Amino acid sequence: MADDCRAIEMPWPDDRLGAVSLTFDDGLDSQLAQTVPLLEKHGLRGTFYLVPSGERWERNLPRWQEVALRGHEMGNHSLGHTCSRGFGDAIDKAPSLETMSLAAIEQDILAAEGLLCEAFPEQPQRSFCYPCYMEHVGEGANRQSYVPVVARHFIAARGQGEVANHPLTCDLHYLWSWPAQRLNAWALIGMAESCATRGRWGARC
């Protein structure tokens, strides 16, 4: 019985205590210039959620292809990076999640996936990241989650949440993460230590 309880409390192989995933959104120039070299200096690999459209994508694609070959994941962050109109000041802002359908969001995501598969053929499977952490289309009585859409096409997906994930209870297609861009080093270290102490899986973005 004791062994069974330990398996539930600490579901990690090889006596590991927990895990932290390091993720980065939007394919920014600074990630190529600073983040990738820093990760590799310490023997780490990250997930970079790319939006495969626009001038920055075209300009940086050869460098991202090199990064992928060194073991970093190139994730899907959609083609249009569509978020809620709540970030703007007009009710008729278009496109917005409030005005999209499940079919439209799926088309957008799959268009991005086609470009990513072509650019990174060595990575036939990848994870997805919800733009602005939002997993819905429509509003009010017509609001719908598009987590089921993502679950049909990806092995996992990153959203936002309050605590680190437990590997036995988490929803792989809406994993909780901590926005870390405004946190100092001590806060980040504390998050990692809490994952080890509690046997959890944290994701930082």
How many CB atoms within 10 Å of residue 143?
11
CB-based contact 24:64 (threshold 8 Å) = no
| pLDDT for the residue numbered 37 | 98
CA Rg value for the chain:
18
| pLDDT for the residue numbered 9 | 57
| pLDDT for the residue numbered 21 | 95
State which residues of the chain have pLDDT below 50: 1-8
Both tokens of 11, joined, read: 């579901």
At residue 165, what are phi and psi to the nearest 5 degrees? -75, 145
37's CB contacts (< 8 A; 6+ apart) are none
| pLDDT for the residue numbered 5 | 40
Both tokens of 126, joined, read: 């990848």
Under DSSP, the state recorded for 166 is: P
CB-based contact 50:56 (threshold 8 Å) = no
pTM: 0.91
Measured between alpha carbons, how far is 150 from 191 in angstroms, rounded to an integer? 27
| pLDDT for the residue numbered 181 | 82
Q: Are strands 19-25 and 128-129 parallel, antiparallel or unpaired?
A: unpaired
Under DSSP, the state recorded for 122 is: T
| pLDDT for the residue numbered 6 | 43
| pLDDT for the residue numbered 12 | 86
Instruction: Residue count of the chain, please give it.
Output: 205
Measured between alpha carbons, how far is 204 from 23 in angstroms, rounded to an integer? 6
Measured between alpha carbons, how far is 117 from 101 in angstroms, rounded to an integer? 24
Both tokens of 192, joined, read: 């990692």
